[in-house]
Structure 1
Amino acid sequence: MATPITHLFTLMFLFTFFHCTSSLLNPQDEVGFLVELDHDVNMVQSKRCDFSDGKWVYDDSYPLYDPNCPYLSTAVTCQKNGRPDSDYEKWKWKPNACSIPRFDALRFLGNMTRKRIMLVGDSIMRNQWESLVCLVQGVILTGRKKVTYNGPAMAFHAMDFETSIEFFWAPLLVELKKDQGNKRVLHLDLIEENARSWRGVDILVFDSAHWWSHSNNTSSWDYYKEGNSLIKNMNPMVAYQKGLSTWARWVDLNLDPQKTKVIFRSMSPRHNKENGWKCYNQKQPLPFFSLQKHTPEPLVVLQGVLKRMRFPVYLQDITSMTALRRDGHPSVYRNAISQDEKQKQGTDHTSGCSHWCLPGVPDIWNEMLNALL
């Protein structure tokens, strides 16, 4: 005899199946992809739509989930921390050539049944992981979801769907270790210690850029190492290219594109004072005509590495669209502080302009991810 949980899961599955099937009959809902196999490019590309080319439009039906989602860390709960405005939650991204389907949690979980999804990278990827968990958790019964922790990894489990949404901390992808003299050494050609956790995963989403651009005062290593050579100074983008190439070789040699989908999300721009931006007290997206028309160097490096790969990796380019959203950062609302402290902090470098308030911008990245999957 079926249990109530089993019966609920069956109904959810049937709803998802028929919803997916009927939507495919509408050509406007289709987002098609192919693998280009010419001599220069081996990347998954959209047949119809460049998701990165579009505009932000205000939509009062957003956000997509309750801001009180229990899986959000304090640093991104800007409303709880006293942010007085909330319009930053209500902007959606509209590509010029198509539309991104609104995130449907049941449909997503139905498509991801018995699959492992792993987001690999830095704290901005953790930001995106929290967003994805909050997007799906509302349709799952309380006793049928949980989060587990294992070293650098954490995983949200949707038990009735046998689906896990995981985050793996590897901001540089390659290995960072301490040597016998307690010096921090970044091994540009070693990755297996991290990568062994990526085996057997159905969908891998990577990011890695921010840590590579840290200056000498804020970098997490004392030396680079390549082979037997210990190197004190190296151009950061040369080091980034070497580290990404190590990652690319591992993917090419160890993953099967018939079993694993790989997506690399481009860098999320900072809006801090160092690069001429600021995010404190910003309440609107930037207009398009104010966006500088150049490709950031880390994105150029990433594009070059992906083009040389045999494995079909999809580049999810969110850099330009996200550069317009200086209003979406926590700024001084990373924790609950007094109004006097907020005013004081808003005038100096302590305003947090790298991570994102949730609900907010990373929800749109996940709507794009959902369309790709």
Structure 2
Amino acid sequence: MATPKCSPFPFHFITLSLLLHSIIVSSVVLVLRNHHHNNGGYHRSPMLQTNGSYCSLFIGTWVRDETFPLYQYSCPIIDPEFNCQMYGRPDTDYLKYRWQPANCQIPRFNGAQFLMRMRGKSVMFVGDSLGRNQWQSLICMISSGISASSPTQITRGDPLSIFKFLEYGVTVSFYRAPYLVDIDAVQGKRVLKLDEIRGNGNAWTGVDVLSFNTGHWWTHKGTLQGWEYMEAGGTLYQDMDRYMAMERGMRTWAKWVDSNIDTSKTRVFFQGISPTHYNPSEWNTGGTVSSTSKSCYGETMPMTGSSGFPGTFPDQMKVIEAVIGSMNKPPFLLDITLLSAMRKDAHPSIYSGDLTPEQRANPDHSADCSHWCLPGLPDTWNQLFYTALFFLH
């Protein structure tokens, strides 16, 4: 039970009826293989047919490939916090890995083909900075496949940033909504409205391809917390169990999708939780811890030979599974959690923009082990997004 705190707002005490589904995970690998196995579109395992057989896109290994990366760090859309090579990262091996599913080859990304298939249409990423990571990656991947003289236009804003490939009439946008549900200002305080989404949802209508993500901001506290109060059932709360709050917000989002999206016209994706690598003691690397640091700093190679999920399986992912599994119109789950968990080498670390010499000298406190370098891992997310968008039926 969440307890309201005295404030200028009118409060009353009620019992908040939020039932968080219990998901018992006896084997994480089994869970990952069974994400999509029961009924409905969400439960079907994302399979790509090849030579009469099938394979799961999200179970596999990382293999070295000298044809990578697909673009260079000079791509002008990349934010400083993602541009590791520009800000001094000395190694480049992390750019040379390709995701190889268990028993099939996925099609190589082709920027020109993407634009021709999407001519006159729109793509929008909705969520937090991991969505922005993927948005910038996709723009760079597309741009590398077309003439540099092909006209483009960018409009940056908050919450909406828009990039247009004018020759093709294709729009690729990012809408910042870390919680998906609305945040409103009430008497100078930010209120996270777990039951309301119309303010954000109005911006998502009419888009041809929507890709959502949420998760990390639900657990932020202190200066990183994005609200002063939560509101549920008409009552304001200073705090509550964060995973219960996330589920309530996710169910509001799910109802909006089921009620407002015509899936015959709009493709909907949901990105799995992007893992962090702040605690090397959690990394399963065959019984040894390869890092001498307390973060991803100095890591240069993916994990190999893991017999299970490397690290701690994100609790936010259990909430996402429960909510999406109950939807009438479930989105395609871009299940990047396991394959990303293996990439402790792919974070910006201390090469995330203009850090001071003091910050760079203290990576245990300043290394970014949450976002990802560009070029880098989000390119694989988009390779799988491309595969699911055009090659899965």
TM over 0.5: yes
| Partners of 1:296 and 1:253 in 2: CA distance | 29
Q: Does the alignment pair 1:90 with 2:106?
A: no
Aligned-partner SS, 1:333: coil
Please name the residue that 1:307 is paired with.
325
Q: Does the alignment pair 1:239 with 2:248?
A: no
**Root-mean-square deviation (Å):** 2.2
| Partners of 1:236 and 1:316 in 2: CA distance | 23
TM-aligned CA deviation for residue 263 of structure 1: 0.3
* Equivalent runs, 1:127-276 vs 2, <5 Å: 127-138=133-144, 139-142=146-149, 144-180=151-187, 182-216=188-222, 218-273=224-279
Instruction: Select the residue among 346, 350, 354 that pairs with 1:328.
Output: 346
TM-aligned CA deviation for residue 45 of structure 1: 4.2
Aligned-partner SS, 1:243: helix
Instruction: Select the residue among 374, 382, 388 that pairs with 1:358.
Output: 374
TM-aligned CA deviation for residue 218 of structure 1: 2.9
Please name the residue that 1:101 is paired with.
107
| Partners of 1:222 and 1:56 in 2: CA distance | 42
TM-aligned CA deviation for residue 40 of structure 1: 7.0
| Partners of 1:224 and 1:274 in 2: CA distance | 33
Asked if the contact 1:273–1:349 (Cα under 8 Å) also holds between the matched residues in 2, the reply is no
Asked if the contact 2:311–2:341 (Cα under 8 Å) also holds between the matched residues in 1, the reply is no
Please name the residue that 2:361 is paired with.
344
Asked if the contact 1:43–1:314 (Cα under 8 Å) also holds between the matched residues in 2, the reply is no
The residue type paired with residue 124 of structure 2 is M
Aligned-partner SS, 1:198: coil
Asked if the contact 1:109–1:163 (Cα under 8 Å) also holds between the matched residues in 2, the reply is yes
TM-aligned CA deviation for residue 343 of structure 1: 5.1
Please name the residue that 1:319 is paired with.
337
Q: Does the alignment pair 1:280 with 2:300?
A: no
Q: TM-score, normalised by structure 1?
A: 0.84
Please name the residue that 2:86 is paired with.
80
1:174-216 per-residue CA deviation (whole Å, 9 max, x = no partner) reads 0112211x22211000101001010000000000001012135
Please name the residue that 2:66 is paired with.
60
| Partners of 2:317 and 2:206 in 1: CA distance | 28
Asked if the contact 1:44–1:312 (Cα under 8 Å) also holds between the matched residues in 2, the reply is no
The residue type paired with residue 324 of structure 1 is M
Instruction: Select the residue among 360, 367, 370 that pairs with 2:383.
Output: 367
The residue type paired with residue 334 of structure 1 is S
Please name the residue that 1:33 is paired with.
none
TM-aligned CA deviation for residue 336 of structure 1: 4.1
TM-aligned CA deviation for residue 49 of structure 1: 2.9
TM-aligned CA deviation for residue 46 of structure 1: 2.3
TM-aligned CA deviation for residue 108 of structure 1: 1.1
| Partners of 1:284 and 1:303 in 2: CA distance | 30
Asked if the contact 1:43–1:313 (Cα under 8 Å) also holds between the matched residues in 2, the reply is no
Asked if the contact 1:58–1:90 (Cα under 8 Å) also holds between the matched residues in 2, the reply is yes
Aligned-partner SS, 2:248: helix
Number of aligned pairs?
335
Higher helix share: 1
1:74-114 per-residue CA deviation (whole Å, 9 max, x = no partner) reads 11111110111011111111010322211111111111111
Change (3 A) 1:37 1:251: farther
Aligned-partner SS, 2:167: helix
TM-aligned CA deviation for residue 161 of structure 1: 1.0
| Partners of 1:318 and 1:172 in 2: CA distance | 19
Q: Which 10-residue stretch deviates more, 281-290 or 317-326?
A: 281-290
| Partners of 1:370 and 1:100 in 2: CA distance | 10
| Partners of 2:38 and 2:306 in 1: CA distance | 35
